[in-house]
C-alpha cells in the first residue's frame, strides 16, 4: 500500500484503507472498473492527495455491485439498491425492492432458458436427421 495511505490510517486510527491497485487486486477487477463505478456515483473512495483510498465500506459496496452485475441487474438498479441501503436502516424497503427485482430477473432467465431448451431440441432434431441421412448414404 502507498505509504501516505498507511500513515493516514495510523494517524487517524481509521480502518485500513486500500490503494486502487490493492482494491482492484482484492476484487479481481481492473482499476478502470473501479474508476467507472466511481464515475457512476456508486462508490466514493476517499482521497489522499490525488490518490484514491478504498475503505471497508467502499470495498463492501463494490462486492455488492459486482454481485448485482453477475446476477444481471443494471447499473441503475444496483444504484437504487445501494441508495435504499443507505436510506433505510431496517432495510424493509430495500428487501421489498430486491424481491421485486429478483422475481423479475428470475422470470427473464426462465424465459431465456425455455428459449435455449427449445433451440437445443431443434438442433438435436436436425443433428439426428443429418446423421440418419448420412447413414442411409453410407457415409
pLDDT tens-digit profile of 12-58? 456 789 999 999 999 999 999 999 999 999 999 999 888 999 999 99
Phi-psi region of 138 (alpha: psi -120 to 50; beta: other; left: phi over 0): left
Under 8 Å between Cβ of 52 and 33: no
* Predicted pLDDT of residue 22: 96
**Segment 65-118, tens digit of pLDDT:** 999 999 999 999 999 988 887 787 778 888 888 899 999 999 999 999 999 999
Angle at 32 between CA 86 and CA 56, to 5 degrees: 35
* Predicted pLDDT of residue 16: 87
Structural domain boundaries of the chain?
Answer: 1-71, 88-139
* Predicted pLDDT of residue 92: 85
For residue 1, how many other CB atoms are within 10 A of its CB? 13
Residue 80, classified by CB atoms within 10 Å of its CB into exposed (0-12), middle (13-18) or buried (19+), is: middle
For residue 101, how many other CB atoms are within 10 A of its CB? 19
Give the integer Cα–Cα distance in Å for 32 and 24: 9
Q: Is residue 128 very low, low, confident or very high in pLDDT (cuts 50, 70, 90)?
A: very high
Give the integer Cα–Cα distance in Å for 70 and 36: 16
* Predicted pLDDT of residue 11: 42
Please give the class, per CATH, of domain 1-71: mainly alpha
pTM over 0.85: no
Q: Region 116-127: what's the mean pLDDT? A: 98
Amino acid at each position: 500500500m502507498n505509504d501516505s495511505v498507511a500513515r493516514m490510517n495510523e494517524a487517524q486510527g481509521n480502518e485500513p484503507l486500500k490503494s486502487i491497485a490493492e482494491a482492484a487486486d482484492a476484487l479481481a477487477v481492473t482499476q478502470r472498473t473501479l474508476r467507472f463505478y466511481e464515475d457512476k456515483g456508486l462508490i466514493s473512495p476517499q482521497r489522499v492527495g490525488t490518490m484514491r483510498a478504498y475503505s471497508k465500506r467502499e470495498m463492501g459496496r463494490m462486492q455488492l455491485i459486482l454481485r448485482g452485475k453477475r446476477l444481471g441487474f443494471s447499473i441503475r438498479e444496483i444504484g437504487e439498491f445501494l441508495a435504499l441501503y443507505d436510506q433505510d436502516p431496517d432495510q424493509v424497503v430495500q428487501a421489498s425492492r430486491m424481491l421485486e427485482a429478483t422475481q423479475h430477473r428470475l422470470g427473464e432467465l426462465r424465459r431465456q432458458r425455455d428459449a435455449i431448451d427449445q433451440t437445443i431440441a431443434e438442433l438435436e432434431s436436425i443433428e439426428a436427421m443429418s446423421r440418419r441421412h448420412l447413414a442411409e448414404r453410407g457415409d
